[in-house]
């Protein structure tokens, strides 16, 4: 059994990283749901399996890779013990979920056509469904979330040398290779990302350029927000904050783009329809092997052109759109299970004896959990290596081996992500392994004294 709740971002090292037209064109968001990343990972990366049992050092290497501090997908794939008595609880990311039988059947039976010509009926149905759910005029199926973000920047900031304002810990700013500058010629200025994923509105206002067309400065065009916030541990942006950001943008004639990788999680956590969140941004949603980018019809018309220029026009894409339809229609309600399981694990960390972990329970809002290690003698890297390793002593104590795969995160922390396929039972297995690792660490400290 493979259970994956690992960090979706194994890669952050803060020391490495020290944007208007009429109202109809404003504010866009690309949302990458867990099904988007899940199917993408299952198709592109798969899961490695071998009969070799990993030592702590080997497990750490398998989980962390050589460049874990900065690499998004360079962290390597997990080595799963092939023995029947070893359970793999992969707590890395919601990108590793796989399509179930119903989704595979929908994909196999999908009616297809040429989407570049606008003739794929399943893609058209998905785009109509997404636009309706988001309360937007139109939506566009795009191959990836990174491309979707880039297209939004290109359409809003149509002139090279325009500027967007982004959070300094945003996915768009940190993990998308600077594509907005590299490919679109758009400059980014940053505001400080607060622990809850928001930023100070006074600081945001201070970053807006004035005096256009003064030749000395770029022209402010776009404000970007992220919901839920990835690096900050799945934090849900308050509706009041989004409302204030939109009001500020309107005041200065800027657009608002939301990178909503997990906006469905935000809607479930807040108990509101998706349109209640997106009314402040005019945005879109993610789906398997890609995202839905949504907004006004004029915006989407521009997005179609940008998608084509970036090589994102997929012809018979209905086989993928069919999976997206199923996820939107049938899978949103189950996200609540992920949130509940994440809280269960967080409570177990807080109650662990010996006390090794620090958890802010108020920050555990959705399917992402970030926690810190309080003892210098056990680093996040070593903790993750121990969670991934299986020993004979563990099998004797627990009755089986349990590999729990996680990634170290920034700020002396570890991150885990819950998703489809991780049950309450799987979460209990992860708790058992965590408690075993904590007890072993205590014994080692006692022997060393």
| Domain annotation for the chain: domains and CATH numbers | 87-96+334-448 (3.90.1150.10), 113-330 (3.40.640.10)
**Range name among 20-24, 70-74, 334-338, 364-368 with the lowest pLDDT average:** 70-74
Report the C-alpha gap between 97 and 5 in whole angstroms. 9
Report the C-alpha gap between 203 and 201 in whole angstroms. 5
CA atoms in the 13 A half-sphere facing the CB of 183: 19
Report the C-alpha gap between 386 and 61 in whole angstroms. 11
- Contact yes or no for 50/79 (Cβ under 8 A): yes
Which tokens in the block code for residue 41? 């990972």
Rounded average pLDDT over 23-44: 40
The SS3 of residue 172 is helix
Q: What is the pLDDT of residue 375?
A: 87
More confident residue, 69 or 94: 94
Q: What is the pLDDT of residue 36?
A: 40
pLDDT in tens, 309-358: 999 999 999 999 999 999 888 888 899 999 999 999 999 999 987 789 99
Q: What is the pLDDT of residue 41?
A: 37
- In the chain, the percentage of residues whose pLDDT exceeds 70 is 80
CA dihedral 207, 210, 214, 220 (to 10 degrees): 50
pLDDT in tens, 132-173: 999 999 999 999 999 999 999 999 998 999 999 999 999 999
How close are the terminal C-alpha atoms of the chain, in Å? Answer: 39
Q: What confidence tier does 43 reach under pLDDT thresholds 50, 70, 90?
A: very low
């Amino acid at each position: 059994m493979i259970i994956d709740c690992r960090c979706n971002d194994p890669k952050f090292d803060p020391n490495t990283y020290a944007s208007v037209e009429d109202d109809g064109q404003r504010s866009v968001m690309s949302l990458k749901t867990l099904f988007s990343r899940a199917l993408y990972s299952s198709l592109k990366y798969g899961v490695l399996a071998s009969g070799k049992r990993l030592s702590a050092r080997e497990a750490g290497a398998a989980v962390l890779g050589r460049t874990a501090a900065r690499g998004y997908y360079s962290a390597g794939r997990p080595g799963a013990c092939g023995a029947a008595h070893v359970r793999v609880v992969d707590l890395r990311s919601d990108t590793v979920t796989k399509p179930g039988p119903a989704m595979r059947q929908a994909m196999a039976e999908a009616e297809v056509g040429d989407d570049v010509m606008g003739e794929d009926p399943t893609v058209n149905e998905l785009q109509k469904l997404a636009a309706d759910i988001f309360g937007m005029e139109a939506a566009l199926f795009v191959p990836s979330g990174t491309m979707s973000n880039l297209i939004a920047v290109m359409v809003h900031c149509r002139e090279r040398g325009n500027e967007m304002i982004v959070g300094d810990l945003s996915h768009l700013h940190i993990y998308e290779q600077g594509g907005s500058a590299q490919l679109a010629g758009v400059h980014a200025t940053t505001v400080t990302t607060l622990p809850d994923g928001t930023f100070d509105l006074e600081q945001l206002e201070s970053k807006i350029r004035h005096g256009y067309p003064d030749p000395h400065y770029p022209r402010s065009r776009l404000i970007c927000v992220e919901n839920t916030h990835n690096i900050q541990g799945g934090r849900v942006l308050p509706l009041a904050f989004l409302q204030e950001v939109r009001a500020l943008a309107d005041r200065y004639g800027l657009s608002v783009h939301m990178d909503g990788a997990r906006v469905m999680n935000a809607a479930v956590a807040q108990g509101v329809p998706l349109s209640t969140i997106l009314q402040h941004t005019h945005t879109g949603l993610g789906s398997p092997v890609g995202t839905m980018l949504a907004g006004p019809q004029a915006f989407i018309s521009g997005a179609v052109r940008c998608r084509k220029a970036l090589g994102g026009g997929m012809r018979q894409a209905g086989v993928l759109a069919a999976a997206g339809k199923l996820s939107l229609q049938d899978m949103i309600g189950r996200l609540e299970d992920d949130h509940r399981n994440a809280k269960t694990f967080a409570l177990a960390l807080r109650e662990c004896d010996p006390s090794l972990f620090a958890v802010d329970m108020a920050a555990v809002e959705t399917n992402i959990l970030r926690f810190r290690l309080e003892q210098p003698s056990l680093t996040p890297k070593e903790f993750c290596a121990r969670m991934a390793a299986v020993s004979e002593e563990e099998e004797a104590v627990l009755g089986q081996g349990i590999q729990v795969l996680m990634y170290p995160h920034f700020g002396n922390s570890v991150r885990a992500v819950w998703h489809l396929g991780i049950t309450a039972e799987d979460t209990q297995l992860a708790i058992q392994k965590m408690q075993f690792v904590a007890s072993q660490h205590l014994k080692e400290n006692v022997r060393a004294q």
